[in-house]
Structure 1
Amino acid sequence: MGSVQRAMRLLETVAGHAHGATAKQLAREAGIALPTTYHLLRTLVHEGYLCREKGLFFLGDAVARLTSSGARQKRRSTVADTLACWRDSIGVPVYYAMYREGEIEVMCVSDSREAPAVEEWADFRETGHAHAIGQCLLSQLDEEARRDHLARCPVQPLTRYTVRDNDALLRRLARLRRMEAVVERQEYALGTVCAAVPITVGTTAATMAISLPAQRADRLLPAVERLQTEIGRNLGSLALSISM
C-alpha cells in the first residue's frame, strides 16, 4: 500500500509539470527518497503511466486511457441515473438502446419490482423486427441499411401479432414520420406492449423505450408522451452520453 501511495504522489507531481520534471525535482516535491523515486519512475515508465524524454518525466498514454475510461463510466452513470428518474416518475421500465456497427444494442435498462422489464426470451439483436426498440432503430436507417440488417436478421414470427415478412416490415417503417414514436403490441412477447422514441445525434441512431403489461395498455400512449417530454428537457445531456 505504501508503494502505491508513493506512486500516486509521483503521478500527481508529474501532472503539475506541463513541461516535464527531473527525478530529483519529483523526489523533492513528492517527499520521497531519491532511490525509491528512481525505482517507482522506472516502473511507471515501463507500465506506460509515465514517459521519459531527455531526462524529464511526463504523463504517459496509460493515464489518458484511464481518464477516457473514467469519462465513459461517468456518462454511463448519467444515463442510468436519468433512466431511473424517469422509471420512478412515469412508473414504467425504461430502456436505452443504440444501433451500432450493424447491431441492435440495449445499453441500459432501468426497472423495479413494481415495474419489471420485459424478459429477453428471444435475442433482442436478432428480433428487431418484433419489438419497438428494434423497429424504432431501423426506422432511423436508410433503405439500404434496413435491407442489409434484415438480410442478416430476417423477420421470423414470434407471436401471432408479429409482422409476417421483410417487405411488410419495410412498408411499415416507410410509413413512419420522422422522429415519430413506435408502438408495438404483443409482437415480441404476448402480454406486453411497448413504445420507443427515436433519438438521433449526428449519424447515431438511438432510442428510449418503455413497456407495460397488455392489461395496462391504456397507459402506454400517455406514458410515452411523458417520456417524450422528459427527453426534450434532457436532450442536451443525453447527446453527450449517446456514444457511451
Structure 2
Amino acid sequence: MATAPHTTAPHTAGPHTAAPTLIGSVQRALRLLEAVSSHSGGAPAKQLAREAGLPLPTAYHLLRTLAHDGYVRRENGVFVPGAAAERLADRCAVRNRRAALVESLNSWRDALGVPIYFAAYREGEIELVAVADTPAAPAVEEWADFRETGHAHALGQCLLSQLDEASRRDHLDRHPVRPLTRYSVRDRCVLLRRLAATERIQPVVERQEYALGTVCAAIPITVGSGVAAMAVSGPVHQQVRLLSAAKTLRSEAGALLDSLAFSISI
C-alpha cells in the first residue's frame, strides 16, 4: 500500500493535533498489517518492523494492539493474520467478486440489448443478487416479492428445478403456489411436474406468469455445489429475440464465470 510522504506539522496546542496523530497511527498499523499478511508462515516482529519501515518499539506496540483486536496473533515467535484480518480479507474478496459480477452483467446487457439478472438459491430462499438494465431496456418491476413468488417467474423456476424434490417441496410449503396473473401456474402438482421435466440444457421460459406483457428466460449456472441462475427479460412480442439472447448467454456465461471464479457467497 502506498503511503503519503512524511511531513511534520508545526506543533500547536489543542484538539487539532489529534487527527493527524490518529491518521499517522492508522497508516502505520495498516503498513504493519500488510507486512504480516505477506508472510503465509508468519514473521517475527523485527522483520515486520523493517518491512513496514517502523522503529522496533513502535512495531511492538502496534502488534500488541492488533493482537488485542484480533487482527494478528502470535504463534511460535512469529506473527500471523488473526481472525479479524481474515474476516476483513473475506469481505474484500466478496466485494471484488460482486464488482466483477456487475461488470460482466453490464457487458452482457450492452451486447445483448436486454436486462440481465443473476440470482442464487441460498439458505432456502431465492435471492436476486444483481440486475443490469437500461432506461431503454428496463428490468421487470418487482411488484410481488421475488423470494415468495419463485413459482411464477423464470429465475425462480430455474432455481427450483435445480433442487432435489424434497427441497422443492419444502420451498413450496413455505411459499405456496398462487396465481399472479391469468397465465400463472395455479396448481402445485402441475408446477412440480414441470420442474421435474425441465431439461438442464434448455432455458426456462416464463410467459406473462409474473408480469403481464413480459416474457423471461433463465439459464442454470453451475457454481461449485451452489444453485444459481441468470435470466433475460423483455416484451412478450420480442420472445424470439429474447430466446436467442438467452441461448447466447448460456453459451458464453459458463466460461466467463469460471474465469471470474466468483461464488454464490456474494
2:43 is aligned with 1:20: yes
Cross-structure match for 1:79: 101
The answer to which of 25-34 and 130-139 deviates more is 25-34
Q: Give 1:85-234 correspondences, 5 Å limit.
A: 85-234=107-256
Cross-structure match for 1:59: 81
Selected match of 1:68 from 61, 67, 90: 90
Q: Deviations over 1:8-31 (max 9, x none)?
A: 222233345544313x55445544
Q: Structure 1: any 5+ residue segments left out of the alignment? A: none
SS in 2 for 1:32: coil
Q: Deviations over 1:198-235 (max 9, x none)?
A: 12344322111010022333322222122122224425
Aligned-pair distance for 1:34?
4.5
Retained in 2: the 8 A contact 1:21–1:58?
no
Q: Distance in 2 between matches of 1:25 and 1:104?
A: 49
TM-score (norm 1): 0.89
Alignment root-mean-square deviation, CA: 2.2
Aligned-pair distance for 1:54?
6.0
Q: Structure 2: any 5+ residue segments left out of the alignment? A: 1-22
Q: Which runs of 4+ in 1 moved over 6 A?
A: none
Q: Distance in 1 between matches of 2:76 and 2:254?
A: 53
Cross-structure match for 1:42: 64
AA of the residue aligned to 2:44: A
Aligned residues: 243
TM-score (norm 2): 0.83
Retained in 1: the 8 A contact 2:36–2:42?
no
Q: Distance in 2 between matches of 1:158 and 1:105?
A: 19
| Structure 1 residues 231 and 28: alpha-carbon distance in aligned structure 2, compared to 1, 3 A threshold | closer
AA of the residue aligned to 1:101: E
Cross-structure match for 1:3: 25
SS in 2 for 1:58: strand
Q: Distance in 1 between matches of 2:52 and 2:250?
A: 52
